[in-house]
């Protein structure tokens, strides 16, 4: 390999997988891992799941593994502030780090509620420190208002209800999760809130979050006042690309990459939440904020950055999951809008499967408590199954399930 210095910016899952892949591929040069947070790389999905339930969140790898076994120089608690693609340097703090190969894995930052700066009790949920602060408030019995009925906000609401706390979710759209799973199935998922006793208010926004130093209430655009000791904003995330201004990299809802995760600047690749790359599986650019794609992209970006002559495309069927009130929602593919059909169970029930059609292709599948089914649909989408093949597969599964029921003594 021609690269002599490998730098990874972002001590994230994607960043860690990039370091590991570099060593596994035989790279024996110096590796520098730069991270804005002081923590070693840790798993983010549990922040709104296990951590809020009191589970500890260990690092993926101990410091001795990263330093001694992987031979990485750790520069933590220091955000990257500039990239010079001509000089091939990254500035972080007061230092400059030269590179031959670079992977950008800086992720995304949570959107905040305007006008809440400095107001105690208002949080996002993006980092380990965020999760610990929210957990402390829930443990103290906080009156909770969640802004945004997406997956993060819904998981916070679930954690509050598990403690027996009253919680209100405020969602500006008439139906939650429209962008993620479509209008029909967004409404089906939202039914879980009503069944759990969560007060979900759709089609209304937040006019102001008020309090003297500490949050006391949330004023909605319809004039309603909600008492609150804790406000959690789950209103999406913005790719962490501010430090790349002036670098010359193409920036448009993330770092724009080709199918190999190459940014167009020599030696520079991107991975994880910050990368918007061309996914050959669906023939379009995507930016995914999902665990699976971050892990896979980190490894692919590293291998391609270190050996660009043998660069391989990254093609995937997106997958994500979310846990609400003891139920698991899982989605694979893309939320195509040509047709959405519930093929098993009933919306509003404890189990359902919905399929998504794009043209004559099976493009996506959503399940509620369908853990034994979802990856089979992912496999179908990955091999380019038609819509008819997807429906036939579902029919065979249902017939087999009915036969098993009839065979029981």
Strand order in the sheet with 89-92: 80-84, 89-92, 95-98
Q: pLDDT of 243-275, one tens digit each?
A: 999 999 999 999 999 999 999 999 999 999 999
DSSP state string for 86-142: TTTEEEETTEEEE-SEEEE---EEE---TT-TT-BTEE--SSHHHHHHHHHHHHTT-
- Quick check: helix, strand or coil at residue 364? strand
Distance CA 183, CA 160 (A): 26
Mean pLDDT of 201-207: 97
Distance CA 149, CA 173 (A): 9
In the prediction, which pLDDT does 45 show? Answer: 63
The residue written with tokens 């993926």 in the block is 60
In the prediction, which pLDDT does 47 show? Answer: 61
DSSP state of 348: T
Distance CA 331, CA 230 (A): 30
Going 119 to 122 to 127 to 131, the CA torsion angle's sign is positive
Distance CA 256, CA 251 (A): 6
Q: What does the mean pLDDT of the chain come to?
A: 92
Distance CA 144, CA 137 (A): 9
* Model pTM above 0.85: yes
Distance CA 150, CA 177 (A): 6
Nearest CA to 280 among 300, 299, 259, 264?
A: 259
What crossing angle do the helices spanning 13-24 and 291-306 adopt, rounded to 10°?
A: 40
In the prediction, which pLDDT does 3 show? Answer: 66
In the prediction, which pLDDT does 1 show? Answer: 47
The residue written with tokens 């340097």 in the block is 89
> Residue 248 CA to chain centroid, in angstroms?
26
As given in the structure block, the two tokens for residue 254 are: 């993330």
Between 406 and 94, residue with greater pLDDT: 94
Q: pLDDT of 142-201, one tens digit each?
A: 999 999 999 999 999 999 999 999 999 999 999 999 999 999 999 999 999 999 999 999
In the prediction, which pLDDT does 42 show? Answer: 74
Q: pLDDT of 350-398, one tens digit each?
A: 999 999 999 999 999 999 999 989 999 999 999 999 999 999 999 998 8
Q: pLDDT of 115-130, one tens digit each?
A: 999 899 999 988 888 8
pLDDT band at 55 (very low <50, low <70, confident <90, very high): low
């Amino acid at each position: 390999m021609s690269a002599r210095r490998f730098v990874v910016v972002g001590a994230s899952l994607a960043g860690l997988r990039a370091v590991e892949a570099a060593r596994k591929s035989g790279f024996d040069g110096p590796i520098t891992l730069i991270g804005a947070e002081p923590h070693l790389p840790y798993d983010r999905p549990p922040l709104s799941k296990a951590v809020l339930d009191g589970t500890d969140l260990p690092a993926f790898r101990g410091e001795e593994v990263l330093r001694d076994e992987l031979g990485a120089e750790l520069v933590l608690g220091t955000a990257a502030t500039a990239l010079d693609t001509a000089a091939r340097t990254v500035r972080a703090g007061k230092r400059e780090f030269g590179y031959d190969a670079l992977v950008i894995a800086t992720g995304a930052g949570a959107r905040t509620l305007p006008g809440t700066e400095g107001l105690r009790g208002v949080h996002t949920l993006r980092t380990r420190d965020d999760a610990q602060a929210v957990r402390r408030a829930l443990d103290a019995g906080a009156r909770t208002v969640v802004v945004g009925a997406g997956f993060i906000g819904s998981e916070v609401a679930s954690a509050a209800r598990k403690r027996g706390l009253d919680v209100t979710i405020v969602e500006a759209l008439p139906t939650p999760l429209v962008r993620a799973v479509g209008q029909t199935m967004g409404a089906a998922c939202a039914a879980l809130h009503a069944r759990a006793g969560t007060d979900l208010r759709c089609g209304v926004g937040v006019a102001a979050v008020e309090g003297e130093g500490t949050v006391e209430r949330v004023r909605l655009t319809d004039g309603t006042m909600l008492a609150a000791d804790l406000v959690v904003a789950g209103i999406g995330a913005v790719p962490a690309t501010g430090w790349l201004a002036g670098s010359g990299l193409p920036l448009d809802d993330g770092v724009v990459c080709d199918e190999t995760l190459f940014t167009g600047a020599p030696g520079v690749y991107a991975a994880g939440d910050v990368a918007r790359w061309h996914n050959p599986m669906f023939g379009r650019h995507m930016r995914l904020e999902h665990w699976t794609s971050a892990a896979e992209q980190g490894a692919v970006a590293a291998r391609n950055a270190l050996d660009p002559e043998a660069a391989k495309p990254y093609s995937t069927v997106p997958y994500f999951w979310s846990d609400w009130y003891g139920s698991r929602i899982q989605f694979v593919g893309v939320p195509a809008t040509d047709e959405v059909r519930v093929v098993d169970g009933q919306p509003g029930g404890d189990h359902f499967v919905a399929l998504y059609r794009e043209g004559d292709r099976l493009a996506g599948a959503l399940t509620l408590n369908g853990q034994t089914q979802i990856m089979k649909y992912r496999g179908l989408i990955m091999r380019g199954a038609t819509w008819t093949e997807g429906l036939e597969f579902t029919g065979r599964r249902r017939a087999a399930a009915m036969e098993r029921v009839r065979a029981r003594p």
